[in-house]
């Protein structure tokens, strides 16, 4: 393992450990974390071009599951942390498994609409979709078997949400998120950073009835 990979993993492993420890500890304190699920389409494009090409053929579909921890919410301003696990398939490139966290701010309106900004990062496991070969020193190439490559990811996202008044009183929230994120490295020798953009459509559903806090649900 070379120095560049060692450097990336030294930064990634502590972040992943922090993500898991924070998730388990916070859940014991509040026991009211919502389930957050989304489908998304990913593209290796820089913004804002992806707004017109995100659903161009071929599609690169993905699925994201996670939860959100609210540090503070006074009904208008909310400080939060997300914890997510995701998967997507990029044709001719890779399968990718994501494990990351984001810190965020969300501004709420009385109509149920909200807008937020999220910034974070974490671990990405990249599994090539095409065969890879290595020079064997005997005048030919041998096919390499690979379980994937450990990588890091840096993420930012703009999010719009809506929480309708439900008959049950449960605070279900629907959201649309535009994410820009970097995979590092993509190819150690040639491509240290690979830009990605993704459009997420999903919902956040409480697993239990929330306890009133700071004057809000």
pLDDT > 60? residue 129: yes
Torsion of CA 17, 115, 51, 197, to 10 degrees: -10
Residue with the larger pLDDT of the pair 1 and 110: 110
Distance CA 116, CA 104 (A): 7
Average pLDDT over residues 6-35: 53
- Measured in whole angstroms, the distance separating CA 85 from the mean position of its chain's CA atoms is 7
Q: State the residue for tokens 């053929």.
A: 57
Distance CA 175, CA 180 (A): 16
Question: What does pTM read for this prediction?
Answer: 0.73
Helices marked H in 32-148 — which ranges? 50-53
Distance CA 200, CA 161 (A): 11
Residue 33 pLDDT class (50, 70, 90 cuts) = confident
Q: Which fold has domain 3-206?
A: Porin (2.40.160)
Average pLDDT over residues 87-101: 88
pLDDT > 50? residue 31: no
Of 64, 71, 79, which Cα lies nearest the Cα of 122?
64
CA torsion sign for 49, 180, 176, 128 is positive
Residue with the larger pLDDT of the pair 122 and 193: 122
* Adjacent-strand bridge partners of 167: none
The mean-pLDDT minimum among 10-14, 124-128, 137-141, 162-166 falls in 10-14
Q: What is the pLDDT of residues 144-182, one digit of tens each?
A: 666 778 999 999 999 999 999 866 666 899 999 999 999
pLDDT > 90? residue 64: yes
């Amino acid at each position: 393992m070379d120095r560049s990979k060692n450097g990336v993993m030294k930064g990634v492993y502590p972040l992943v450990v922090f993500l898991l420890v924070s998730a388990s500890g916070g859940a014991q304190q509040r026991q009211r974390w919502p389930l957050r699920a989304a489908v998304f389409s990913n593209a290796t494009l820089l913004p804002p071009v992806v707004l017109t090409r995100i659903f161009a053929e071929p599609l690169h579909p993905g699925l994201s599951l996670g939860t959100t921890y609210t540090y503070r919410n006074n009904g208008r301003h909310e400080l939060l942390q997300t914890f997510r696990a995701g998967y997507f398939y990029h044709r001719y490139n890779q399968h990718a498994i994501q494990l990351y966290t984001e810190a965020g701010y969300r501004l709420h309106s009385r109509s149920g609409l909200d807008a937020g900004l999220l910034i974070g990062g974490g671990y990405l496991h990249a599994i090539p979709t095409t065969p890879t070969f290595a020079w064997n020193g005997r005048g030919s190439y041998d096919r390499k078997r690979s379980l994937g490559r450990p990588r890091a990811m840096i993420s930012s996202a703009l999010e719009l949400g809506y929480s309708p008044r439900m008959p049950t009183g449960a605070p279900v929230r629907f959201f649309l998120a535009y994410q820009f994120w970097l995979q590092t490295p993509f190819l150690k020798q040639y491509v240290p950073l690979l830009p990605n953009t993704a459009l997420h459509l999903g919902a956040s559903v409480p697993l239990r009835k929330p306890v009133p806090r700071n004057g809000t649900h």
